[in-house]
Chain A
Amino acid sequence: MTGPVLVAIVGGTILTVGPQGTIEKGAVLIRDGKIAAVGRDLLVPAGATVIDATGRYVMPGIIDCHSHTAIEESVNECSDSVTAEVRITDVIDHRDVNLYRELAGGVTTLNVLHGSCNTIGGQNAVIKLRWGKPPEELLFKDAPRGIKFALGENPKRSNFRAPGPPRYPATRMGVEAVLRESFQEAQAYKREWEEYEKKVKSLGSRGDKPIAPRKSLRLEELKDILDGKVYVHAHCYRADEILMLIRIAEEFSFKIRTFQHVLEGYKVASEIARHGAGASTFSDWWAYKMEAYDAIPYNAAIMAAHGVKVSMNSDSDELARRLYWEAAKAVKYGGVSEVEALKMVTLNPAWQLGIEQRVGSIEVGKDADIAIFSAHPFAPDARVEQTLVDGVVYFDRAKDVAARTAPATKAGGSP
């Protein structure tokens, strides 16, 4: 019978992102993958593996709220405008090396989403970057279910010509119609099943059981959205489509959990705040599409000022490795405080995914998902030295460099 697994990170500056704030020359004690203690002058228990973080900065593992990393084959099921039955959890590619590269950028949790090909896409997968484990062991246990919506140019296919007959919708009017029709259909499906259940109940044990209606995995998912069982993550750009989606959601009595990209969110920040949705956005990407032409790097700051919980995301394997500097830009553009900016890649995305009880800050009881930086994560020479998930070191730069064989990559490529 082995004892608990003990890890102690000592000597660094701890950016807890929680009520304890910043602790200089502090320590984090980890027991069986959970944070057991945080503070100064902690006693390191016997048998603990000690990670010396002197001179380093210790922060919660970064959470990327918009990722397509580790998806096998296509990110989109483009054949239809509504494909709520497809599941990213079915196609997690645990061997995607970008998982490791993102660990090397301090990321520990991803919201892996269906693409933006469809008005209503597929079900998401929230995963932890337990590099090397099989797909089922990457799934973030008990994370709330989520689904992807997309509004605007992508689902209406403005920017490329797909072969074959054109697919509906081609305008934002049609996008709204697809949503409306889908949820009306879902309501009808829900009623059908409620009637069936009523009939079964009233018959009890006697008589001929009626045949259940056909189970449609697609409509089941839409029904669950209506019942508030599924977080909606909606890719959107233009202010008017953001308002449209809020209208639809309120009409059908469900909530949008996050607006994704939401590059014109700053124009309707109070409406987003009133609805209670979070916003997951880029720091400063713009001008790549018409709907991104009014994007401004002050988006995050303005929405945050209106009380919206804002996160910075990547939507890119490449950018996901640098989210700590994306967060820093909220300081530059709009004067967000450094702590609030840090939250944009830690506690805020955790809340957006419904996992803030488990991750997003360095607090006792939470999972030991931690990134250790060589300098303050916002500093220009900062780089990730180690990344832990559930108290296990999954990325260690020194070990990575030592294992390299090509001389060019070892020499000076190191410390």
Chain B
Amino acid sequence: MSPEAARRGLAVAAMAALWARPAAAPAARTEVYALVGARIVTVSGPTLDNATLVMRDGVIEAVGAGVPVPPDARTIRADGLVLTPGLIDGFSGTGLPAPASRGPGAGGATAAPPSSPLAPQAMALDKVRVADALKARDAGITTVLVIPREGVLPGQSVILNLSGDKAEAMALKQPAALHLHMSTLARQYPGSLMGTVAYARQSLDDAIHYRDEWAAYERAPAGKKRPRYDAALAAWQDVLAGREMLVVTAFRENDVRRALAIADEFRIKVAVAGAPQAFRLADLIKARKVPLLVGVNFDPPRPARAFGGVLGDEEKERRDIEDAERNPSELHKAGVSFALVSAYAPNFLAGVRKAIERGLPREAALRAVTLGAAEALGIADRTGSLEPGKIADVVAWAGDPLTKDAKAKMVFVDGQLYEPEEPAPSPSPKAEGGGQ
């Protein structure tokens, strides 16, 4: 067969294959896209007007005003739209099942089986429900770090790029980090904050002992009692060796100090997530160059009970919430680099908008949920900005990004197009749609 005939045949076969596909929503087959005529916020460089972005095989190929459209590209006119890098939520529970409520039978069909609260070896990836995770794209979020919020040692997180239908294939970094929540457990050790610190300390001591014990055995096993495998202690080894980051979730100002104290005592790398009072430690954070994932979960659910001050100081609670809201703005003023993350806030973008309302410049906010987040997570060499060579995670917005009325019209993840559905019109102008 001649090459031309072969090619024609292939084309016919391809056409046939296309037509033969089931009636369900066809997967985008296009490998090359050109978005033309858009305002492009690259984040890494100046904003371009009336420009073109080309992506091929899941990678950004070209960005610029006069960039030519490749002949095999699907051209999409993006006039009046704003392109930004896909938003990154660097600390979330995206795609994880809701924690089981207390009490028998309260969980329902979607409740997860309870997992151990002290399991550094548990992998968040194993718990991700793909269909749930993908919903985040409606808000323009393309990349998420996922770790359960319950427990003290919830395990190791995964960074997912939200495309495809298999969790593993979504994993951009697996594992991403090992996590320690500065919280306490209800009916077991550690039941106090000092217990949590002691537990972490003992765990690391045990991990060192485990390492040395196994190393000695591997060197010369003859005559020695064989050490036992311990999944939890094995999980700590990469952190001990400096190959994996320990992310400490800080709820209080001094949790940041505690995180640094652990880092110093065991000479390991730490990052801090949450940190609603971090601005009080701006100088320390800057000096120690701590990767900071600042949460926008300003009013998290807390125990509703009377113990510890029957009268309660509501004024202080309110003040603390306000401090948390202006935390990003204050950090920015102090010149601290940080990511903005949901930290399990029910509405990530609403939280980001609140931070802007409280003084964080919108550009800084956008950076904090794109390149700034990528930097904090150690993936800035591959994503977080609209530059050639980076992963094609791109959002086309109608309206100014990070404003209330902004809508993600097109969301590209790994160069795959996803078009969020128009949300049903809300009854009240104030109602927030989920994920917007």
Chain A positions near chain B (C-beta within 8 angstroms): 72-80, 83, 85-88, 90-95, 114, 122, 134-136, 163-164, 208-209, 211-212, 214-217
Contact = CB atoms under 8 A, between A and B. Distances in A.
A87 B198 contact: yes
28 contacts: A72-B193, A74-B194, A76-B191, A77-B190, A77-B191, A78-B192, A79-B185, A79-B191, A79-B195, A83-B195, A85-B198, A86-B190, A86-B194, A87-B198, A91-B194, A92-B254, A95-B253, A122-B194, A134-B257, A135-B254, A135-B257, A211-B216, A212-B209, A216-B202, A217-B198, A217-B201, A217-B202, A217-B205
Interface in B164-199: 184-185, 187-195, 197-198
Given A79-B189, A134-B257, A164-B187, A90 B194 contact: yes
B366 to A, nearest CB: 33
Q: How large is the interface on B (under 10, 10 to 19, 20 to 34, 35 or more residues)?
A: 20 to 34
B322 interface: no
Contacts of A114: 194
Given A73-B193, A76-B192, A79-B191, A90 B258 contact: yes
A16 B187 CA distance: 50
Nearest to A89: B194
A211 B212 contact: yes
A217 B187 CA distance: 21
Contact of B197 (A78, A87, A216): A87
Nearest to A209: B216
Q: Which of B193, B206, B257 has the most CB of A within 10 A?
A: B193
A77 B205 contact: no
B213 A90 contact: no
A214 B205 CA distance: 8
A209 B254 CA distance: 40
Given A73-B184, A85-B198, A135-B257, A214 B206 contact: yes
A154 to B, nearest CB: 16
Contacts of B188: 79
B322 to A, nearest CB: 16
Nearest to B185: A79
B252 interface: yes
Contacts of A163: 187
B189 A215 contact: no
B184 A74 contact: yes
Contacts of B185: 79
B187 A88 contact: no
Q: Which of B198, B202, B205 has the most CB of A within 10 A?
A: B198
B195 A77 contact: yes
Contact of A86 (B187, B192, B216, B253): B192
Contacts of A87: 194, 197-198
A293 B216 CA distance: 60
Given A90-B258, A91-B197, A95-B253, A74 B212 contact: no
Given A135-B254, A215-B209, A74 B192 contact: yes
